[in-house]
């Protein structure tokens, strides 16, 4: 049986890739952010997961505003990045896991989630930055990745209640896959932030920390918010909380918090790194 052994939250902002490409990790601005990562890297290197399911939002590389799937899943054997205009060096491809991807896709549609199923898919910084943070130097080729995109850019977006339910459905799908695979789920994105408009730069540290607490102890409580609530409380891009909630939804058994590092601001966002160990429910 495939097992989800853990879940984590991390920022995916493109400025991280630039900082790593330019060796800025020890500078005063970046150090408090990057100092959070070694314990998570150590845990991943010890546990050696076979598969990462990675929730992110595509920022316009594969899905522009003319075509925006609410939920999309990749089922390819390999994924490529492309120029996003950030000056980031060309990076190696990401390895896929088509068999488990198809199993999850079938299971989700059966379960009432009408996914966009992508046999080809370019992946942007939302996916590659978290992988590079965990395996610096873009050394992630050994781990198989299943990309799951959630629309967090253009209204109407799926509500927190729905993204949490999507995560739960993925958790059930993984538990019903016969092959022995260890899976870790990444929920990526900024916490409170707003990139433009009158409130650009807004950060709500208190709310971010409450969200991290609730993600451990009572994630369903966070589904009481609508996306408009999140915009008001946490800024227009605070809706990226949906991807953290989707991750937490997949953890259908017991969780234990192993590590946390909250830092703000980093590139105008609240950044929440958290590692949760997960024990699957008894069958």
Q: Which residues are catalytic?
A: 125, 193
Please say whether the beta carbons of 69 and 127 come within 8 A. no
Measuring CA to CA, which residue among 163, 48, 181, 7 is closest to residue 103?
181
Could you give the count of Cα atoms lying within 13 Å of 236 in the half-sphere of its Cβ? 12
Quickly count: other Cβ atoms within 10 Å of residue 140's Cβ. 22
Report the distance separating Cα 105 and Cα 117, nearest Å: 7
DSSP 159-205: -HHHHHHHHHHHHHHHHT--S--EEEEEEE--SS---SSTTTT---H
Percent of the chain that is helix, strand, coil (3-state, to 5): 35, 25, 40
Matching residue, tokens 């739960």: 168
Please say whether the beta carbons of 219 and 164 come within 8 A. yes
Q: Identify the three-state secondary structure at position 158.
A: coil
Please say whether the beta carbons of 148 and 53 come within 8 A. yes
Report the distance separating Cα 155 and Cα 158, nearest Å: 8
């Amino acid at each position: 049986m495939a097992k989800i052994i853990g879940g984590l939250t991390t920022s995916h902002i493109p400025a991280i890739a630039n900082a790593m490409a330019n060796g800025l990790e020890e500078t005063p601005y970046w150090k408090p952010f990057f100092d959070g990562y070694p314990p998570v890297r150590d845990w991943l290197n010890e546990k050696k997961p076979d598969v990462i399911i990675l929730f992110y939002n595509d920022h316009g590389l594969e899905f522009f505003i003319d075509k925006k799937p609410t939920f999309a899943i990749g089922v390819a054997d390999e994924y490529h990045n492309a120029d996003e205009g950030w000056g980031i060096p060309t990076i190696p491809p990401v390895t896929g896991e088509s068999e488990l991807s198809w199993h999850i896709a079938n299971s989700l549609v059966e379960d009432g989630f009408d996914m966009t199923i992508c046999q080809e898919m370019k992946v942007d910084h939302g996916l590659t930055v978290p992988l590079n943070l965990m395996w610096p130097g873009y050394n992630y080729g050994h781990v198989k990745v299943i990309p799951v995109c959630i629309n967090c850019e253009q209204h109407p977006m799926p509500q927190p209640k729905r993204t949490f339910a999507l995560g739960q459905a993925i958790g059930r799908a993984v538990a019903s896959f016969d092959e022995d695979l260890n899976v870790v789920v990444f929920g990526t994105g900024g916490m409170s932030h707003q990139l433009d408009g009158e409130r650009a730069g807004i950060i709500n540290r208190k709310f971010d920390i409450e969200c991290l607490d609730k993600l451990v102890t009572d994630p369903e409580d966070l589904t009481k918010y609508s996306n408009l609530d999140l915009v008001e409380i946490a800024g227009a891009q605070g809706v990226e909380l949906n991807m953290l909630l989707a991750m937490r939804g997949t953890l259908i058994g017991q969780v234990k918090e192993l590590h946390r590092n909250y830092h703000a601001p980093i590139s105008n966002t609240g950044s929440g790194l958290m590692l949760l160990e997960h024990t699957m429910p008894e069958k």
